[in-house]
Amino acid sequence: MIENEPSVSSAGLAGFVHEWPASRVVFGPGVISVAASEAARYGSRIAVIHDPTAQSAADRVTADAGGGVCARISEVVQHVPVHAVGKAVATIRDARAEVLMCIGGGSATGLAKGVARDLELPLVAVPTTYAGSEMTSIWGLTEGGRKTTGRAATVRPRTVVYDPELTLDLPTAISVTSGINAIAHCVEALYAHGSSPLTRLAAAEGIRFMARALPSILERPRDVGARGFALRGAWLSGWSLEVSTTGLHHKLCHILGGLLDLPHSPLHTVLLPYTVAHIAPAAVAETRTVLESLGITGPVTDAGGLIWDHHRLLGAPTSLAGIGMREADVDPAIAEASAVLADRALPPRPAGPSDLRDLIRAAFNGDRPAAC
């Protein structure tokens, strides 16, 4: 049953704490041309971490740096294994790097954050997907099937260079799931404990940018304007995540991703309708903002199902089975999620063992979330 929405009086009394993180953002087509000079603001010896798809951008930075690149690492793995960070730290320490640059998606950014955390080097990020992690101080490491996350000011990039031209060749399927991953950041920022009025404005705008961009990208993958809208959405999603906290959705994604090594953005995509369906009864106004920002008309009581329908229209995956989870993984995943989350206060609505069991089982099967 949907709870009553707060009155103006009660909403006006809600407290919050807002901190404004300091990051420099350089945005526009072709701004990869200034990435080397942006890195030079923090040091003359640059170590570049990039994923294989960002090879040409890394070559451009290396040429522009005029001999300033002292190390390049192109081996990146999703969920950032601890051993990969240790190997990269050794390479970059030996190269006597003064500044780090990451070019690529969330895995490249995550590896660079792991290095920055250990070596306390300034970081410049050049994202080529819509992960949004380039705007946050959140790091994540995986070891022994468990993903550990935390926050450290040293891992938040000093400068982020957003060049829509670097995303023109991002496959549409990845563009969609990466974009929905960004939307998930905004969704949780809307109902996070202590979320500020400014956070909610940015989160809603981030959803609107991405919702406008994704259908255009599907029709015209190399439309720089559409790609620019998506990157704007990614920027606002990352900023929103940085100034708020994560809840059930992100924590469940981290648990399943670390345990089963499922692909990061498809995992966020599949779980979002189910986590929204669980949260909606306790976050009516925020859920309505999500639907309106997505351009979806329908009752809040069916928010999870409506988002599931929206994902199908975008051609996105809608089941955990469809992204690599096996039937044999279901019970261990439920047990792990229950062990980690069942006793935790997760505003605005906790999830008990039965909630987690039903949510994970429905997401595995790809069942349309039921109305509440």
Percent of the chain whose pLDDT exceeds 70: 96
Are 192 and 245 within 8 A, CB to CB? yes
Question: For residues 200 and 289, what is the distance between their CA atoms, to the nearest angstrom?
Answer: 9
327-341 vs 353-365: helix axis angle to the nearest 10? 150
Of 216, 118, 93, 202, nearest to 164 by C-alpha is 216
Contacting residues for 334 by C-beta, under 8 A, at least 6 apart: 353, 356, 357, 360, 361
- pLDDT per position as a tens digit, 280-308: 999 999 999 999 999 999 999 999 999 99
Across 46-50, 173-177, 212-216, 347-351, least confident range: 347-351
- pLDDT per position as a tens digit, 58-82: 999 999 999 999 999 999 999 999 9
- pLDDT per position as a tens digit, 245-263: 999 999 999 999 999 999 9
CA distances from 262 to 78, 161, 259, 268, 326 (A): 9, 28, 8, 10, 11
| Model pTM above 0.85 | yes
- Token pair in block for residue 97: 């790097």
pLDDT at position 20 over 80: no
Of 139, 356, 318, nearest to 241 by C-alpha is 139
Q: How many helices (H) and strands (E) does the chain have?
A: 14, 8
DSSP 8-state class, residue 298 = S
Are 296 and 306 within 8 A, CB to CB? yes
Q: Count CB-CB contacts under 10 A for residue 370.
A: 12
- Token pair in block for residue 247: 């809840």
Region label for 96, one of left (φ > 0), alpha (ψ between -120 and 50) or beta (otherwise): left
CA distances from 55 to 61, 72, 95, 357 (A): 10, 10, 20, 42
β-bridge mates for residue 81, sequence order: 142
Check residue 153 and give its pLDDT: 95
Mean pLDDT of the chain: 94
Check residue 12 and give its pLDDT: 56
Region label for 264, one of left (φ > 0), alpha (ψ between -120 and 50) or beta (otherwise): alpha
- pLDDT per position as a tens digit, 95-132: 999 999 999 999 999 999 999 999 999 999 999 999 99
- Write the single-letter amino acid at 208: R
Contacting residues for 157 by C-beta, under 8 A, at least 6 apart: 23, 102, 109, 123, 124, 125, 134, 135
Are 123 and 152 within 8 A, CB to CB? no
Better-predicted residue by pLDDT, 106 or 7: 106
Q: What DSSP assignment string belongs to 237-289? A: HHHHHHTS---HHHHHHHHHHHHH---HHHHHHHHHHHHHHHHGGG-HHHHHH
